[in-house]
Amino acid sequence: MTVPREMPEKWPRVRVRGGPEEERRVRANAREYNEKFQYASNCIKTSKYNIVTFLPVNLFEQFQEVANTYFLFLLILQLIPQISSLSWFTTIVPLVLVLTITAVKDATDDYFRHKSDNQVNNRESQVLIGGVLRQEQWMNVRVGDIIKLENNQFVAQADLLLLSSSEPHGLCYIETAELDGETNMKVRQAIPVTAELGDTSKLARFDGEVVCEPPNNKLDKFGGTLYWKENKYPLSNQNMLLRGCVLRNTEWCFGLVIFAGPDTKLMQNSGRTKFKRTSIDRLMNTLVLWIFGFLVCMGVILAIGNAIWEHEVGVCFQIYLPWDEGVHSAFFSGFLSFWSYIIILNTVVPISLYVSVEVIRLGHSYFINWDKKMYCAKRRTPAEARTTTLNEELGQVEYIFSDKTGTLTQNIMVFSKCSVNGHSYGDVQDVLGHKAELGERPEPVNFSFNPLADPRFQFWDPSLLEAVKLGDPHVHEFFRLLSLCHTVMSEEKSEGELLYKAQSPDEGALVTAARNFGFVFRFRTPKTITVHELGQAITYQLLAILDFNNIRKRMSVIVRCPEGKIRLYCKGADTILLERLHPVNQDLTSVTADHLNEYAAEGLRTLVLAYKDLEESYYRDWSERLRWAGSASEAREDCLARLYDEVEHDMMLLGATAIEDKLQQGVPETIAILTLANIKIWVLTGDKQETAVNIGYSCKMLTDDMTEVFVVTGHTVLEVREELRKAREKMMDASRSVGNDFSSKEKLSSSKLTSVLEAIAGEYALVINGHSLAHALEADMEVEFLETACACKAVICCRVTPLQKAQVVELVKKYKKGVTLAIGDGANDVNMIKTAHIGVGISGQEGIQAVLASDYSFSQFKFLQRLLLVHGRWSYLRMCKFLCYFFYKNFAFTMVHFWFGFFCGFSAQTVYDQYFITLYNIVYTSLPVLAMGVFDQDVPEQRSMEYPKLYEPGQLNLLFNKREFFICIAQGIYTSVLMFFIPYGVFADATRDDGAQLADYQSFAVTVATSLVIVVSVQIGLDTGFWTAINHFFIWGSLAAYFAILFTMHSDGLFRMFPNQFRFVGNAQNTLAQPTVWLTIALTTVVCIMPVVAFRFLKLDLKPELSDTVRYTQLVRKKQKTQHRCVRRTGRVGSRRSGYAFSHQEGFGELIMSGKNMRLSSLALSSFASRPSTSWIETLWKKKGSEGSGAGSPSGTADKTLKV
């Protein structure tokens, strides 16, 4: 390689040792040169273990859990004979069981990670090595390699500098849905000096060196320079193919690897995988520490008692009750007693708790996976719980952050209605000419007369086709405009088989509509457009394309008709075009505006169409000025804009179009129901503002009944701050106007202001652009932004980057206690999905990156309703009931030892035998509570969906919190007191049937143990709200197992086999044969259970919960005949909105006119299937007990959208 003069002979170091990379240098076809910079490899590794490291690493990870370390410590204590009164197996058996189950689970998960890694790393790529294209594994691709890509192939390997392609001038066409959610086609172009390197021999000799920016997460920016043959060439983002995009309509291209593996812009935007824990997990960790403190306190109390007893009483019995060897004082005896009681009382924190929690979560995950109502038959995709640790948090979600494209929408645009010369077409009518209701649609319009019609296009109003056939000049001109005014590319793969490729689905829908109605766009050259009008081929001379951009919000073409007339055709946003019409259009404008309002009321995206005839002389003069402006070196864009504006005036109105941006099925209903459940939904999209707002109206997040819709578009920090301030002031003023007593002079803290704003009257929405959001997320303004946003019913953030999506989620997590859920379907949503408490991936049109990064996945947004309101709520309910019962039964079990300590000289003697202690949590009480934790439900799934307010307890964390925990342990302590003292009092004077004393240690132990098992079994029967055969089997089976094991352990046969272990032959049979014992057990059970029954009865009668009311209603409904209710569908009447969202950048106009993109076969457009839209339920959920809510909302103004 020859170094140009501008290139310094000694380059600065690219990477400071231990520091970040400052700039990147990449030389083509020079692996040895590039490897010295130690750039990241392309090998993917998500697995954690291998065969050698699995056991030590997994055990190390498991013992990082405080509970596992605690039980290991107890096991060590039990191996010390001086302090242990229990055998070591009472702890080691549960501990080994827990470690084994967890290890098997971790090994299985890691096996699938290894499998996934191998699949990805072993994919093959075509890499140019030694002048020959070779199939190379993906993991072996290196920075500086030259790679060949083919049509429809994912750019999966790395970020590439486009060198050459099969298209003229080094062009190639890509889709970037994985990156930014935009499914429209984009153009990339190689720099001219490399565009000629089309064969492998030339590429093999290419040794250019690229100096560029270091790895970063900016998807829309790239800066660098190519040095080659003593020249340097600037590089930009237009020369780059980023990982995650798809090559379209380009047979092949070659690219130079610039960034690989984690350095690619896609991975830089993905963020780190974060370990997610539920709020219940965090609470459990706190409670376990509290319980451990309580355990230490009990140990100290009993140790002090032991020291006092040994000093005052025990010393008198030294002759036949001597101290153990090494014990020489009462104080040391108390010290040893402390550790003994720590061992005995450790069951207040049973290790089986953690195993049971994992089993229950696993069961809940399988229920999600098996749910047929969340299965998409069209895509053959079931719902999938990709994690087992977050199920109960699905029942506590307060904020949902949703992507738009592919998540809320199908990204399918359908030509739905139109207005031509004051006549509206598109309403479905029955045979009598009346508007047909849903379900009464006749057959769609028959386009069989047109051999070039798209068979997938459907239209329901035959009168429009009749107008075409009758030769209505206005209708003909309408469709002529649609067939000419666009930048669509056409490809005819076979005779009559046309494929269109458009920059946006809007354009594709409009051109396809014109095609079906007989005005078929056939092909184009740089200077002509050929259209088949009702079977006749007509070629128009293309004179100019006045391209679309976000400021103009319109596009125009100027064509010369076959008869020589010059005409301008224009389509654009109604707010822009209606101002540019000739005054003679006033009456027609009024009628068309009414139609636009009707279309907007249905949530359709509207465009206005107009035309203008140009004089030959005027056009020649204007064209000359346009040519001069196009070559201007300064203010080129401003000059062109002025010329465009000049010619696009005094136009004649043709009509309007209405396009339906096809929402996914059930999206409006799902959003309505989730809103009723007090869940706030924010839409974070990379799409433009107009598109996002239209979707907001379509899915009923935004309505014209809202008090205000604030639009924040400031470009500076001061502008954004002022707009947010005005929005807050308007909300506060409206709140004061309806009676909320907030003084304007009152100084409120940040938290107080937030609570005041969230309690305001009226419904508000906030729409903010990406550049404004960048300022709003700065440290000194983020709280103001959050206060304003949280006071709104709906928030839409437009034109946001993947990183900004994650920052918004992180902001809410930082300042709000609510659980957040992020849902998306593209790689641009990965960072957001990883940041939220819960991430949901939609397996849609934009690849599987979001699914792979998610915690849960399914194919349609509507399934989110069922995931949260059914599975999430049930999981939270079950887990809370499980934990309450578990702590209760273990305190009832363990505290008996504490009371017994006061009657056994604090000698650390246990009440129960060691086998009962071992089996209590593993056999006797484990399965019933597992059955309740897996299968229980308070109301059926239909009622969970019908009454979204049932979701509120999870959001408020009402079912398991510190208060509920203390109630549970108080009930457990109460039960333990009765469990010990009732048998103790009875046995003090009781005798057997033969007159012998009943009070012996083993009889007392059997009585207390039997009472305990029966009481906790009755209690779980009371706690179970949904009985299944499994619940019955486990509860009664556990009782039967207890008696079977009890009689077996006291049997003669077991004694003969193990005489040293089972010495109390016949004790259980003799004890339970006494009526006194059964009366004692019955009395204990009644006294323990009756207060619980009485309390629940009074609570149900005096202060029932909503779930109680729903259950009662369900019982009443079963007795009554089901009555079907019909819900009338009502349309929305309000302000219209433009649907002009053709692209997110400049259009293809300049490219088309240059001729650089032309080839023998033009580009293709995939057609989209259409489906009817769905209705929704408009209602607002008012949070119970919200402060300062007004009696009504202020009346809306004529313009509901406030631009602040």
Do 239 and 254 contact (CB within 8 A), yes or no?
A: no
β-strand 708-712 against 764-768: which pairing, if any? parallel
Q: Catalytic pick from 145, 159, 180, 403?
A: 403
Which residues contact residue 787 at a Cβ distance below 8 angstroms, ignoring those fewer than 6 apart?
728, 750, 753, 754, 757
Q: Which two tokens stand for residue 358?
A: 């994992």
- How many Cβ atoms are within 10 Å of 524's Cβ, its own excluded? 23
Q: Which two tokens stand for residue 527?
A: 């200077």
Do 65 and 73 contact (CB within 8 A), yes or no?
A: no
Q: Exposed, middle or buried, 1169 (CB in 10 Å: 0-12/13-18/19+)?
A: exposed
E-assigned strands of 138-204? 146-150, 158-165, 171-175, 185-189
Cα four-point dihedral sign 733, 735, 737, 743:
negative
**Helix-helix angle 1075-1102:962-989, to 10 degrees:** 150
Do 1182 and 754 contact (CB within 8 A), yes or no?
A: no
Do 893 and 977 contact (CB within 8 A), yes or no?
A: no
Q: Give backbone dihedrals phi and psi of 794, rounded to 5 degrees, phi first.
A: -140, 145
**C-alpha closest to that of 509 among 406, 410, 652, 430:** 410
CA 671 to chain CA centroid, nearest Å:
14
Q: Exposed, middle or buried, 148 (CB in 10 Å: 0-12/13-18/19+)?
A: middle
- Tokens 């204007």 -> residue: 622
Return d(Cα 1004, Cα 272) in angstroms, integer: 58
Rg (CA), the chain: 37
Cα four-point dihedral sign 484, 485, 490, 494:
negative
Looking at residue 486, the DSSP 8-state letter turns out to be S
Return d(Cα 690, Cα 705) in angstroms, integer: 19
**C-alpha closest to that of 973 among 898, 921, 1044:** 898
**C-alpha closest to that of 1089 among 888, 942, 895:** 888
145 belongs to the catalytic site: no
Cα four-point dihedral sign 340, 346, 351, 356:
positive
Return d(Cα 423, Cα 474) in angstroms, integer: 10
Return d(Cα 1011, Cα 1013) in angstroms, integer: 6
Do 151 and 248 contact (CB within 8 A), yes or no?
A: yes
Do 1197 and 1188 contact (CB within 8 A), yes or no?
A: no
Classified as helix, coil or strand, 369 is helix
Looking at residue 898, the DSSP 8-state letter turns out to be H
- In the chain, % helix, strand, coil (3-state, to 5) comes to 45, 15, 35
Do 191 and 226 contact (CB within 8 A), yes or no?
A: yes
Do 929 and 848 contact (CB within 8 A), yes or no?
A: no
Looking at residue 559, the DSSP 8-state letter turns out to be E
Looking at residue 281, the DSSP 8-state letter turns out to be H
Q: Which two tokens stand for residue 172?
A: 């190639």
Which residues contact residue 997 at a Cβ distance below 8 angstroms, ignoring those fewer than 6 apart?
991
Return d(Cα 416, Cα 606) in angstroms, integer: 10
**C-alpha closest to that of 794 among 713, 683, 711:** 683
Q: Could you list the active site residues?
A: 403
